[in-house]
Amino acid sequence: MIQKNLLLRYFGLVVLILGVILNVKMFLNQEWPTVLFFIICLIGIVQIIISFVFKKMGVFWQILWSLIPFILGFAYIKLA
């Protein structure tokens, strides 16, 4: 069986794990709760779901789908 959309799937997994680690660190350090880490986890989950739903995407589209949420978030922060 040929694995499809692995780049997007692994990138989503890394983003999900990063969000979970940041959430745990926030609770252990008793820092001010923020929804940003939950949004990071949600982005990772959405990327993993996209990688399973779409059959076969090119590498360009996988990279684009991986980076769009972060580019939009950075642009939003710069404009706000």
Q: Above 80 in pLDDT, residue 80?
A: no
CA distance 67 to 63: 6
pLDDT of 17: 94
Q: Above 60 in pLDDT, residue 73?
A: yes
CA distance 76 to 62: 22
Question: Taking the model in full, what pTM does it have?
Answer: 0.81
Residue type, 36: L
Q: What is the pLDDT of residues 1-60, one digit of tens each?
A: 467 888 899 999 999 999 899 888 888 888 876 788 888 899 999 999 999 998 888 889
pLDDT of 30: 84
